[in-house]
Structure 1
């Protein structure tokens, strides 16, 4: 599950770290690009020694380069991290975006309202924290099942 409590559930302060699922590790990325390049070259091998090879080769390189750039951009877009810290009196949420920007939210733990929108949010089972006049999302990048489990974990942690 792409979130974990980095401290024990009974420790003070409690800290939860959330991150998007990383389905393609760096070795898998390299293997995918290499396999794609090799599979595209197989039909081109029959054209060795002809002028047609030189006409098609730029398009092959452009296709592989485009795939590489698209996967790199997707990897950078998944560099999101949220850290929720719960101490005896306060809750703090710190979100680092893919562009490096940091957003922070803090609230007195007594006044926090945890909400889950079954429908009507940007994603099903949208989880938010409300307090200090603001409502912030948490774990919007998680899958539907993971957001349901996150809501249950946060309910136990916040209101025990």
Structure 2
């Protein structure tokens, strides 16, 4: 599950929710993929070892493997998004850490925050938004629709639990 709730250890600490995008290719899989791809691409070059044809083909093969490596690394960097939702009894903050942009922050009073799940009309299916503090923010746009639905049920329960005396 690409999100986790962190319960407070002491009074005064917030209840936290951390969300991140799902990784379909772990780092170990990335290394294996690049190694196997390079081996399969270089295997036919054995037939042309020692001939001038090798030097004509080799730059293109190295370029293709390098481009694959570069764009997979870039995809990993783009996926380093982290959203942190912190809930105290008197305030609530959402901080989104973007990989190549400044972080974005939102704050509101949890008593006035509304959690809405838009089945249609949002940029993604079951678009999860928080309304409060004169602003509307999205939460977990990178999650699956089922995860957003589950989160839309969990957040109001946590808000009630935190605001209960």
Q: TM-score, normalised by structure 1?
A: 0.93
Counterpart in the other structure of 2:59:
58
Equivalent residue number for residue 121 of structure 1: 122
Residue aligning to 1:14: 15
In structure 2, the partner of 1:109 is: 110
Task: Report the CA distance between 1:117 and its aligned residue.
Answer: 0.7
What's 2:3 paired with? Answer: 3
Q: Which stretch shifts more, 30-39 or 17-26?
A: 17-26
Distance 2:26 2:75 in 1: 12
Are positions 1:37 and 2:38 aligned together? yes
1:14-46, Cα deviation, whole Å (9 max, x unpaired): 111111112222222111111110010112211
Q: CA deviation at 1:50?
A: 2.0
- Structure 1 stretch 24-33 or stretch 137-146: which is displaced more? 24-33
Greater displacement, 84-93 / 95-104? 95-104
Shift of 1:151: 1.2
The offset of 1:7, in angstroms, is 1.6
Q: For structure 1, list consecutive stretches of 5 or more residues without a partner in the other structure.
A: none
The runs of 4+ residues in structure 1 deviating greater than 3 Å are: none
Unmatched tracts of structure 2, length 5 or more: none
